[in-house]
Amino acid sequence: MRKYLLYAFLIITGFLTLAPFIWMLSASFMFDGHASVFPPRFFPDEFTFIQYETLFSRLDVSRNLINSVLISTMVTVVSLVFNSMAGFAFAKYRFRGKDTIFKMLLSSMVIPSQVTMLPLFLMLKEFGFLNTYMAILVPGLANVFGIFLIRQYVMAIPDSLIESARIDGATDFQIYYKIIVPLAMPVMVTLAIFTFMGTWNDFLWPLIVFNDSSMYTLPVALANLMGEHTKDPELMMAGSVITILPVMLLFLVLQKYYIKGIMMGSVKE
């Protein structure tokens, strides 16, 4: 009996959690005005792709989609290289000031990124990076969370592996490239998903550094579109689907790594 109550509860709350997505999907396949009805429809009355066509033809959302894909990929790849090298250094080398630097980095995590935004904006303006991909890439080159995550993982790799490679004449870079990177692949994948999704979903920073609409990432383009289409739920829902779907699929494929990352991040102190 208790078991069935539990299941009923789980299914109802599960439905409530998914209801916004179901409605979003349903409305995105409707003609103009068909989602503004009472009671709300969980299934389109007449099925159409017209909203998606409008987005891609008239509103040129493909441009924003490309921006989002390229920016997120670039940030992910570059920061993965930077973070993994630094994480490796903190895990396996001894050098002066190591503990102090590491502690400083960790404590800097309480500084909200908003604090840096004004000076960073001025800096990027000086470099001529506003309205370019560099504006997102530059502040995302490396981050403390990434370094920390890699370090935790690499610390568990036995020193003997590194020692024996060294005896065989491997250089430090070969050790990083041929031993550490392959062995740390699971955590690299985890970090890659976090970075990709974080960059994809980010809103405030791209809103600040892009004012040329051809540079907008999907969230910024969507927010901008909302200003003109407050009365067009069908179109806005199609835009939301396009924005959400890629990260949702990515998560579904790699969820194991994502979940592991959350747990690793939570055992720090």
Partner 1 sequence: MKFKPVYFFLAPALTAIFVFFFIPVISAFIISFTDFDIYAIGDYSKFRFTGLDNYYKLFDNQLFWKALTNTFYFVIISGPISIAVSLGAAMILNSKLVKFKGIFRLVYFMPVVTTLVAVSIVWRFIYHPEFGLLNYGLSFVGIEKIDWLGDPFWSMPSIIILSIWKNFGYNMIIFIAGLQNIPEELYEAAQIEGANGWQRFTKITLPMLAPTTVFITIITMIGYFQLFAEPYIMTQGGPLDSTLSIVLYMYQEGFRWWNMGYSSAIAFVLFVIILAGTLIQMWVQKRREA
Residues of this chain, 1-40, that bind partner 1 according to CB under 8 A: 2-3, 6-7, 9-10, 13-14, 17-21, 23-24, 27, 35-40
> In degrees rounded to 5, what are phi and psi of residue 6?
-60, -45
**DSSP letter at 268?**
-
Nearer to partner 1, 50 or 134 (CB): 134
Q: Per rule CB under 8 A, is residue 223 in the interface with partner 1?
A: yes
Q: How far is the CB of 37 from partner 1 (least distance, A)?
A: 6
User: For 4-7, which contacts have Cβ atoms below 8 Å and span 24 or more sequence positions?
Assistant: none
Q: Per rule CB under 8 A, is residue 251 in the interface with partner 1?
A: yes
How would you write 254-266 as a 3-class SS string? HHHHHHHHHHHHC
Name the burial class of residue 5, with classes exposed (0-12), middle (13-18) and buried (19+) by CB atoms within 10 angstroms of its CB: exposed
Chosen residue from 50, 59, 142, 179 binding partner 1 by CB under 8 A: 142
Q: Per rule CB under 8 A, is residue 138 in the interface with partner 1?
A: yes
Q: How far is the CB of 160 from partner 1 (least distance, A)?
A: 19
Widest distance between CA atoms in the chain: 75
Chosen residue from 65, 130, 154, 222 binding partner 1 by CB under 8 A: 222
Q: Per rule CB under 8 A, is residue 115 in the interface with partner 1?
A: yes
Q: Per rule CB under 8 A, is residue 118 in the interface with partner 1?
A: yes
Q: Per rule CB under 8 A, is residue 199 in the interface with partner 1?
A: no
Chosen residue from 58, 208, 212, 216 binding partner 1 by CB under 8 A: 208
Q: How far is the CB of 3 from partner 1 (least distance, A)?
A: 5
Q: Per rule CB under 8 A, is residue 248 in the interface with partner 1?
A: yes
Q: How far is CA 227 from the centre of its chain?
A: 25
Chosen residue from 55, 64, 67, 139 binding partner 1 by CB under 8 A: 139
Nearer to partner 1, 58 or 93 (CB): 93
Count of residues engaged in binding partner 1, rule: CB under 8 A:
91
Per-residue contact flags (x/-) with partner 1 for residues 60 to 99, judged by CB under 8 A:
---------------------xxx-xx-xxx--x-x----
Residues 177 and 84: their CA atoms lie apart, in Å, by 10
Residues 26 and 151: their CA atoms lie apart, in Å, by 44
Q: Per rule CB under 8 A, is residue 192 in the interface with partner 1?
A: no
Residues 256 and 186: their CA atoms lie apart, in Å, by 10
Contacts of 46 (CB under 8 A, 6+ apart): 30, 31, 34
Residues 250 and 130: their CA atoms lie apart, in Å, by 29
